[in-house]
Amino acid sequence: MLDNNQLLRFTTAGSVDDGKSTLIGRLLYDSKSIFEDQLQAIENTSKKKGHDGVDLALFTDGLKDEREQGITIDVAYRYFTTPKRKFIIADTPGHIQYTRNMVTGASTANAAIILVDARHGVIEQTKRHSFIASLLQIPHVIVCINKMDLVDYSEEAYNKVINQFEEFSSKLLVHDIRFIPISALNGDNVVNRSQHMSWYQGAPLLHTLETMHISSDINKVDARFPVQTVLRPQNDTHRDYRGYAGRVASGIFRVGDEVTIMPSGFTSKIKSIDTLKETLDEVYAPMSVSITLEDDIDISRGDMIVRSNNKPEPVQDIEVMLCWLHNNPAKPRAKYSIRHTSNEQKAMIKDIVYKINIETLDRNTEDKDLKMNDISKVKIRTTKPLMIDSYRENRTTGSIILIDDTTNETVAAGMIV
């Protein structure tokens, strides 16, 4: 691995039979990320279940119940590395009842892989995955048209799927869509270029993942620093030290920058940017540092340090695309705790504007129930202002979760409109 190698997180969503597990198995196997004892364990299980040969799909199911039922229930994280990048796969189930897990996996992803069976073309599930990728603003979407071996590697079949996809995806907000014809089973265009599809001029999947430009995936314009905790060492060398510990959510801060503390509105200048290893002149997302200021100001967890010439909006009424994650449905006008970066307040869902049918993308303004896996546009009022950006511009300062104080469970995740 080289020093400047980056980390790319991608999500794969799919059901049992669209080849998702085979594709992941192929990526891991061909990049030599499956160890012999893991392979041995899978071989044993394959034999026990009476399968012919080794079922690579078994590598991707983890928990006892999942193995017994042959399905994926929860998000599983997989890792592999090539000489160019480190990859984290958020492997999520594709069925509608697991929408919440797809949303979870998508929330941190740079890229989404959407699998389409070349024989069946775009189906409801394809639309669902694409909608979630768009809703969660995954910067790059790769549509893999799989099982090309079963349609004689036909360019016509491939183009037909692309046309179908483009027809419905025009309604979605995805900036970077690519199409790759593959056969996960035979390895065509996964790691190695296919010998059967000379008409395809693009790169295989792995090469695409290794080279796509991801440095711009994080907002580098709006400088935002949510304070996690305050560091006060009280030792001889740092007697009066008061550092604000946090991770830069977006943008760039430099020593000497004029900053404003939200929500108090006090202003100061950055005195130093510290880490154990060194003192820095500038810091950018997603670095974790300690920042000190020229002036003594009362700052605590939940406050946000921003550049004075570019401030987020402090608001108490927000519109949110909300995904309900819990078995207990939303209680109308009930109070929840809302978490936004390191800030926590109380909040109430005031109105459900519409609910989205995630298979047809139709909006339903009549149905006012929020049940598990529902995605709705809602109006929320908070007890104190949150310092927000729109999710479209900033995935960190544009996202929230709701917590039910009676159970302490996370019940919803929202993207600020």
Partner 1 sequence: MSKYYLNYLDELESEAIYVLREVWAQFDNPVILFSGGKDSILVTHLAKKAFYPAKIPFPLMHVDTGHNFPETIKFRDDIIKDLGVELIVGSVQESIDEGRVAEERGKNATRNALQITTLLDAIESNKIDCAIGGGRRDEEKARAKERFFSHRDDFGQWDPKNQRPELWNIFNGKHFEGEHFRAFPISNWTEMDVWNYIKRENIAIPSLYFAHQREVVWRQDSWIPNSEFLILEDHEEIVTKKIRFRTLGDITITGGIESDADTLEKIADEVSGMRQTERGNRSDDKRSESAMEDRKRQGYF
Nearer Cβ to partner 1, position 162 or 287? 287
End-to-end CA distance of the chain: 39
**Nearest distance in Å: CB 345, partner 1:** 13
**Nearest distance in Å: CB 349, partner 1:** 18
Nearer Cβ to partner 1, position 3 or 52? 3
Nearer Cβ to partner 1, position 45 or 364? 45
**Nearest distance in Å: CB 331, partner 1:** 18
Nearer Cβ to partner 1, position 5 or 159? 5
Nearer Cβ to partner 1, position 128 or 326? 326
**Nearest distance in Å: CB 380, partner 1:** 15
**Nearest distance in Å: CB 172, partner 1:** 20
Nearer Cβ to partner 1, position 277 or 333? 277
Nearer Cβ to partner 1, position 38 or 383? 38
Nearer Cβ to partner 1, position 186 or 292? 292
**Nearest distance in Å: CB 25, partner 1:** 14
**Nearest distance in Å: CB 156, partner 1:** 40
**Nearest distance in Å: CB 252, partner 1:** 7
